[in-house]
């Protein structure tokens, strides 16, 4: 059985380049892989940002399925210094 890609939208509200990324991922992709793809597109340092969904910071090692993210969901790429994380 072939696994269908799903489209996610990732807001990049702060940084040298801002905007909205449309990315196609597999449900088995990790949030770390999603973050890496978006950071490369927007020239953002991977180590300084976190993916957020529904007000929660997503663990880089979790898969899209494990995080409960579905087709068409909108995530945000936020700097740790804004959300109070440690890096």
Average pLDDT over residues 17-43: 92
What is the pLDDT at residue 85?
55
CA distance 14 to 78: 7
What is the pLDDT at residue 37?
93
Contact 64, 28 (CB under 8 A): yes
Position with higher pLDDT, 69 vs 83: 69
pTM of the predicted structure, to 2 decimals: 0.86
What is the pLDDT at residue 1?
64
- Show the domains of the chain with their CATH numbers: 6-83 (3.10.20.90)
CA distance 47 to 39: 10
Tokens, residue 59: 């663990």
Average pLDDT over residues 52-75: 95
User: Who's near 56: CB < 8 A, 6+ residues apart?
Assistant: none
The span from the first CA to the last CA of the chain, in angstroms, equals: 40
């Amino acid at each position: 059985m072939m696994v269908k890609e799903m489209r996610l939208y990732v807001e990049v509200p702060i940084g040298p380049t801002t905007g909205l990324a449309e990315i196609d991922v597999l449900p088995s992709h990790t949030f770390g892989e999603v973050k890496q793809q978006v950071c490369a597109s927007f020239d953002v340092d991977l180590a300084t940002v976190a993916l957020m969904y529904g007000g929660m910071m997503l663990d880089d090692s979790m898969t899209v399925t494990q995080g409960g993210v579905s087709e068409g969901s909108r995530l945000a790429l936020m700097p740790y210094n804004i959300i109070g994380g440690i890096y």
